[in-house]
Structure 1
């Protein structure tokens, strides 16, 4: 026989003969209730179908045990990897994570921040869209909740704690590698929509000049309004190949998704990037997107340490939540990238 369905705590109170306030204390902290009463409640719960309201049981707590995460894209496996690191660290700390996606839209990003404030979360981790994020909303979020930025650090948010990648080191690392094994690379940029795009481009230019080479940047302009990075990389490099240019060059792409588009363009033009001893087309990326080892050819790239970023972001947020955030300059944590050598360069 199916167990009777109980929908509210009031119904549960009547069903098992325990007062509503006692049930509320039990669901918040069983140790606050007498052992004999705990046994009675647990026995009653075993005889009915009841799931306590997640939010209702947290309303009167000093801490909800919930943190919010805002990411810019759902179609980017980099953020899937980052969320894995955040989820692992949050679960270890006994926290529940609620994730919202801004879908590359400042208005949606703002609404997600407002939602987190209305839910009285313990804190928020935000991977912002970039300089076109609504800074006034983030100011409100920062005034209401402990708040840490991840992945991208817009110029408009210099006084917020940040955890991300040392792009100067990571981009410099793969630029130096490409210069060492072949022709100095051309930088295939992504549209200048966020801090990472600009920082990686600047790091490439700095490393090229330090090595005594002339930097060359292509693909900085937005071609299609609703295009993803893969389409951008395919269009920019496809146009170059169609004009007979860069077919024997080293190409460093601003991220792996741009590089995937670049590999597609090479395939359409009958070109096979590889680690030839002398000359030849080379294509490399940045991020170590999960699909990189399975591309054809497998993509040489530089990996961001998403586990370390996620763990540090959660630990820093907890530190602020628990009153450990020091006033003054924001804490800036950057992790170095790691070169991943594969077949494409």
Structure 2
């Protein structure tokens, strides 16, 4: 039997015989109305084709129940993992996540923040582009609603709460490991467009000097527009291997995507990096990208605690949205990385 289709809350109120305010409370929280009324609404809804309008049910509330999230890339599985962790934590806290992507463009990033302000989201979690982000937009955002920086902390936003990885600890951890098992590593960097990449580079240099080794950084120059990751790593190491450089060295890559490019360059030259391979070449990364166990050879890396970062970011934001914080010094939460030893190093 075809169900009656109803489009508005007014029509639904007439059909069920329950006031619109009562229906609104029911859709927000079924336990907020009497048990008998909730049971009646549920019975009648089974006979009707009706989907409540998300925004209409929140028009008269002090909260929209929305958390805005800005990420820089859609094609990066690290941010997919982070977004998943955030969404699960937000659902557990009773919030719905709205995601916007900045596509590595400061203007798009600024529009995303303005969109969240226009939607009156309860708070926002932002993975910023870095120092090129529009500072004025984020100053407005901070005046309008609580927000927390996640994963990357630009020097232009020192007064905003931040949740992310301790890159000094994680980079130091894998640098020390590579120094123990083979020749001191070179550092395969990337063009100066990423705050985390710069922090890891500095951490590598500090660790190498502390261990009494000479740091060696390669790959800082942009080769082609937007060649920041796999293409960049492949191009830099392909040129080096063609010159006979680093074929018996450890190569610590700034992140796993750059390392995947380096692995491809090694394959092109018939080189097999790894602990059990001949020749001494080792390649390692940072992040524990989801594809790392499936590269050939599987990639040794250091994992960020993405689940803990997502959960802590949501927890801090919810605390701020509910007024449970004292203005003043920003709260900084850093999580340690963990070695993932695989075949490549």
TM-score range, shorter chain: over 0.9
Residue 326 of structure 2 corresponds to which residue in structure 1?
326
| Contact 2:222-2:228 at 8 Å conserved across structures | no
Structure 2 match to 1:67: 67
> How far apart are the structure 2 equivalents of 1:280 and 1:162?
39
The equivalent of 1:214 in structure 2 is: 214
Counterpart check, 1:160 vs 2:173: no
Q: 1:123 is matched with which residue? A: 123
For the 8 Å contact 1:170–1:338, the answer to whether it is kept is yes
Cα gap change, 1:32/1:205 in structure 2, threshold over 3 Å: closer, same or farther?
closer
Contact 1:183 1:279 in 2 (8 A): no
* TM-score with structure 2 setting the length: 0.96
Q: Which residue of 2 aligns with 1:92?
A: 92
Tell me, what secondary structure is at the counterpart of 1:293?
helix
Partner SS, residue 187 of structure 2: strand
Deviates more, 1:258-267 or 1:237-246: 237-246
Instruction: Show the counterpart of 2:202.
Output: 202
| Structure 1 residue 257, shift from structure 2 partner | 0.3
Match of 2:41 in 1: 41
Any unmatched runs of 5+ in structure 2? Answer: none
Between the aligned partners of 1:201 and 1:339, the Cα distance in structure 2 is 18
Question: What is the CA RMSD across the aligned residues, in angstroms?
Answer: 1.5
TM-score (norm: length of structure 1): 0.96
Distance in 2 (CA, whole Å) between partners of 1:193 and 1:289 is 20
Deviation at 1:179, TM superposition (A): 0.8
- Provide structure 1 residue ranges, at least 5 long, that are not aligned to the other structure: none
Q: CA deviation at 1:7?
A: 1.1
Return the offset for 1:60.
1.4
Q: Contact (CA 8 Å) 1:182, 1:278: kept in 2 or not?
A: no
- Tell me how far apart the structure 1 counterparts of residues 209 and 9 of structure 2 sit (CA, whole Å): 68
Secondary structure at the counterpart of residue 24 of structure 1? helix
How far apart, CA to CA, are the structure 2 residues paired with 1:340 and 1:22? 54
Deviates more, 1:221-230 or 1:192-201: 221-230
CA distance in 1, matches of 2:49, 2:27: 15
Structure 2 counterpart SS, 1:280: coil
* Residues 1:10 and 2:3 are matched in the alignment: no
Aligned residues: 345
Please tell me whether the aligned partners of residues 187 and 251 of structure 2 are also in contact (alpha carbons under 8 angstroms).
yes
Distance 1:27 1:177, change over 3 A: same
Contact kept, 8 Å, 2:124 with 2:147, in 1: the verdict is: yes
In structure 2, C-alpha distance between the alignment counterparts of 1:272 and 1:304, rounded to whole Å:
26
Look up the match of 2:176. 176
Q: Which runs of structure 2 are paired with 1:145-294 in the superposition (5 Å)?
A: 145-276=145-276, 280-294=280-294
**Equivalent-residue separation in structure 1 for 2:191 and 2:180 (angstroms):** 27
State the shift of 1:20 in Å.
2.9
How much does 1:111 deviate? Answer: 1.1
Structure 1 runs of 4+ off > 4 angstroms?
A: 276-279
Structure 2 CA distance for aligned equivalents of residues 115 and 192 of structure 1: 29
The one-character-per-residue Cα deviations of 1:3-56 (angstroms, maximum 9, x if unpaired) are: 011111122123223333332233234445444443433332121100100111
- Larger mean CA deviation between 323-332 and 23-32 belongs to 23-32
Offset of 1:57 from its aligned partner? 0.6
Q: Is the 8 A contact 1:300 1:344 kept in 2?
A: yes
1:262 Cα deviation from its structure 2 partner? 0.3
